[in-house]
């Protein structure tokens, strides 16, 4: 389970005195626990972990975009780059354009809405939405 893996790697990072990895994982773990508690004191699921990891990734990418514009120092930019790499390791393997094309053809869907609904139901978290939309338009059009 992703949550246990994240806890283990957070402990290892603290022991190794890796401040960046320890910081991002500790903060993510706290958010994941809070999400599960707020949702009725239930056990943490992989979906919870993926939701928080995606939120953290989005923030890291936004910060990297600011860094590219020269709005922060290079040290902070490097930290966000490292955080992004750490967080990406928790996401499932992403489907390639060829994989998406095969899945879309298999779905038999006739429009983009049906295709995206099929992908969400059968391959959630395994594809990039922009790439899926582009491939769907190619297959339909």
With bands split at pLDDT 50, 70 and 90, how would you rate the model's confidence at 141?
A: confident
Q: What percent of the chain has pLDDT over 90?
A: 55
Q: Do the beta carbons of residue 76 and residue 99 sit within 8 Å?
A: no
pLDDT at 94: 85
pLDDT above 90: residue 74:
no
Look over the chain and give the mean of its residue pLDDT values, rounded to a whole number.
91
- The C-alpha atoms of residue 119 and residue 122 are separated, in whole angstroms, by 5
The yes-or-no verdict on residue 33 having pLDDT over 90 is yes
Neighbours of 28 (CB within 10 A): 22
- Cα–Cα distance, 96 to 131 (Å, whole number): 9
Distance from first CA to last CA of the chain, Å, rounded? 40
Cα–Cα distances in angstroms (integers) from residue 28 to residues 33, 55, 84, 101, 139, in the given order: 9, 9, 13, 33, 38
The predicted structure's pLDDT at residue 91: 87
* pTM given for the model: 0.74
**Better-scored residue on pLDDT, 60 or 124:** 60
How far apart, in whole angstroms, are the C-alpha atoms of residue 19 and residue 13? 7
| 63 contacts 71 by C-beta, under 8 angstroms | no
pLDDT at 127: 84
Does residue 73 surpass a pLDDT of 90? no
- Band of pLDDT at residue 27, cut at 50, 70 and 90: very high
- What is the CATH code for 2-88? 1.10.1510
> pLDDT tens digit string along 82-126?
999 999 999 888 889 999 999 988 888 888 899 999 998 888 778
């Amino acid at each position: 389970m992703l949550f246990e893996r994240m806890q283990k790697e957070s402990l290892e990072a603290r022991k190794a005195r890796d401040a960046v990895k320890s910081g991002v994982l500790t903060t993510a773990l706290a958010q994941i626990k809070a999400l599960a508690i707020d949702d009725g004191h239930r056990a943490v699921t992989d979906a919870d972990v993926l939701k928080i990891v995606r939120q953290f990734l989005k923030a890291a990418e936004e910060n990297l975009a600011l860094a590219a514009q020269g709005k922060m120092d290079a040290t902070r930019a490097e930290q966000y780059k490292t955080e992004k790499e750490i967080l990406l390791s928790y996401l499932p393997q992403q489907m390639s354009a060829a994989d998406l094309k095969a899945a879309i053809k298999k779905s038999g869907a006739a429009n983009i809405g049906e295709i995206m609904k099929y992908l969400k139901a059968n391959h959630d978290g395994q594809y990039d939405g922009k790439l899926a939309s582009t491939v769907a338009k190619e297959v339909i059009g």
